[in-house]
Amino acid sequence: MVRKILLGIVCCVFAGSLSAAQKQLSLASPDGKLKATIDIGEKLTYNVIYDGKEVIAPSAISMTLDNGTVWGDNARLQKSTEKQIDTKIASPFYRADSVRDQCNELTMKFKGDYSVVFRAYNDGIAYRFVNHAKDPFCIVREEVDYRFPADAVATVPYVNRGNDGDFNSQFPNSFENVYKSEKLSELNQQRLMFLPLFVKTDDGVSVCLTETDLYDYPGLYLVADDGLRLAGVHAGYPKTVEGGGYNNLQLLVKDREDFVAKVEAPRNFPWRIAVISENDKDIAASNLSYLLAEPSKLSDISWIKPGKVAWEWWNAWNLDGVDFETGVNNDTYKAYIDFASKNGIEYVILDEGWAVNMKADLMQVVDAIDIKELVDYAAERNVGIILWAGCYAFERNMDEVCKYYSDLGVKGFKVDFMDRDDQLMTEFNHRAAATAAKYKLILDLHGTHKPAGIHRTYPNVLNCEGVFGLEQVKWITADVDQVTYDVMIPFIRQVAGPLDYTQGAMRNASKGNYYPCYSEPMSQGTRCHQIAMYVVYDSPVNMMCDTPSNYEREQTCTDFIADVPTVWDETRILDGELGEYIVTARRKGDVWYVGGINNWTPREVEVDLSFLNDGSHQVELFKDGVNAHRAGRDYASESLSVDGKTKLKLRMAPGGGFAMRIE
């Protein structure tokens, strides 16, 4: 009898162990280096192992609904399925004409009408919640938790508005700030951080955190908590919104609900992405944000035309040597159109000032501007016109505005001052994209958050800001290090998608010589640093920020910049390290471009050209001049012959760079 009781106890223990084992699932990347382990118990948690090292410690995920249900707590698994994915995805207007989608996927269906999906790629782990319920509800809170096994260096962009500790005051922000690097344990717990952000472990493994497929849902912030933890925060759903703010062009939230999102029907929620590698260059090369985004909603994209833009706002409409007063008037814009036409530049933008100020009405145009005349003048010269618009003005009568200006011949809009990413604002971005596409208009979503997949879902959204771009040097003081920020962007912000950085300055300041100048601004760093950005940065519609007068005085540089494509057939990150330097190679047809940018430390890099086809190739090279450390405008250009065995050694000055065209 005793033996039977003992045997029963043993069996029960074994059964309990078996049950516990059945509540732990794992998923590995195709190459086996990355592994996620998901534990289903009182909490739904996961951890991530890279090459035998734990890089993300067990971290809880959940969603709290307004009926008190918590998805992920005491979850009851109904079934799990695994599948392998390996396909190529067409990627128009991107850094490559197609990208490989290769991963292993685990879907866990839980009782309560929801699922959680994990994907393991060779360069990262991603997960998302999926709602299957048909009845509407609200999400009170989404638990997003990134716990690290040990202290590590985080490189983060803090929200730069609002009061410490008051997250509601921090939610309205422009998503523009330089990065700060410090230990996880030393991060400011009173300030929100927006995505993407970067963590490097003591083992030398880099992790870039971001999200994608963000639509009709609030964007994710992270805040430091408990020393080694980054916790998710979302803006509350806007209860009351009204026009106001800068020149009456913003939609301001007056108060918020105690929930973050409304859910009206079955839907997917955003992917939470951790891009992981021991090489920073692999982080910069990641396509996960694009791969995991919702596929294009547009059946016809033949009308979408990427390209460069002659831009007047950064240089304050400055022209010299003309016989008219420059400013917001047709004579000025005709000069910009002539410059664009002469140099093969696809667009000219009418930035802030063409619509009557403070009216938030895009149908009211200032007396000095005749848009129809400018559109016709530009069309005769094979140049398109893009119009700037404040968010509130665009929202008020979006369909009417898009139809009217499309019928007039305008090619697109640059929409600005969204300055939020709560549910209503992410919905606005997608609705703006859909409405613009209806009338065959391209969009540059300026004054907004990271693209988070919208550039795949709506390919007419050719660019997004969400970056501390070159416009900042019109006013930042010399203690703000724009150059070092420049060599962080490819490893952090650009992981989320293209960026409207607005490069191309012809006035260039070496270290110690920079000062802010609103009407005649200059860059920090060298001329070649600026030129190289056209190769290094993803930007399908790309500004040439300086005045035509300066470009015409620097025609050799202008010819090269105007020739650089804005979309590519292939991109390779050849070398780089966060905050130090990066070297990028891109191909369009049979022509390669290689660009490198540097921080303030002079360095020599070796560029391996083994990616070239057989035979000899001709190179047009722009490199820092011998005195670029003293005069940022100093550069040298030369022609040379290379082949696939060539390894070019190139010196980059402090704040320097290089760029080359290879045929």
Which residues carry out catalysis?
Answer: 416, 471
One-letter identity of residue 255 = D
β-strands 508-509, 523-524 pairing:
parallel
* 482 DSSP 8-state letter: H
As given in the structure block, the two tokens for residue 515 are 């000062």
How many helices (DSSP H) and strands (DSSP E) are in the chain?
A: 14, 39
Question: How far, rounded to the nearest angstrom, does the alpha carbon of residue 500 sit from its chain's CA centroid?
Answer: 9
Strand partners, 156: 180
Dist CA 106 CA 117 (whole Å): 6
Residue owning tokens 């490989």: 100
β-strands 114-121, 124-131 pairing:
antiparallel
Dist CA 302 CA 209 (whole Å): 34
* Peptide bond connecting 548 to the previous residue in cis, omega within 30 degrees of 0: no
As given in the structure block, the two tokens for residue 595 are 């660009």
Dist CA 467 CA 585 (whole Å): 22
Dist CA 106 CA 80 (whole Å): 7
Which residues neighbour 395 within 8 Å (Cβ) at sequence distance 6 or greater? 251, 428
As given in the structure block, the two tokens for residue 106 are 């685990």
As given in the structure block, the two tokens for residue 376 are 């016709």
Contact 569, 578 (CB under 8 A): no
One-letter identity of residue 530 = Q
Strand partners, 472: none
Strand partners, 238: 256
Phi, psi torsion values for 419, nearest 5 degrees: 55, 30
User: Which residue spans within 281-436 are E strands per DSSP?
Assistant: 307-310, 347-350, 384-390, 412-416
Question: How far, rounded to the nearest angstrom, does the alpha carbon of residue 661 sit from its chain's CA centroid?
Answer: 26
Angle at 572 between CA 568 and CA 578, to 5 degrees: 120
Angstrom CA distances, 506 to 143, 529, 556, 602, 629, stand at 47, 11, 12, 21, 16
As given in the structure block, the two tokens for residue 301 are 């994209």
As given in the structure block, the two tokens for residue 83 are 């599948």
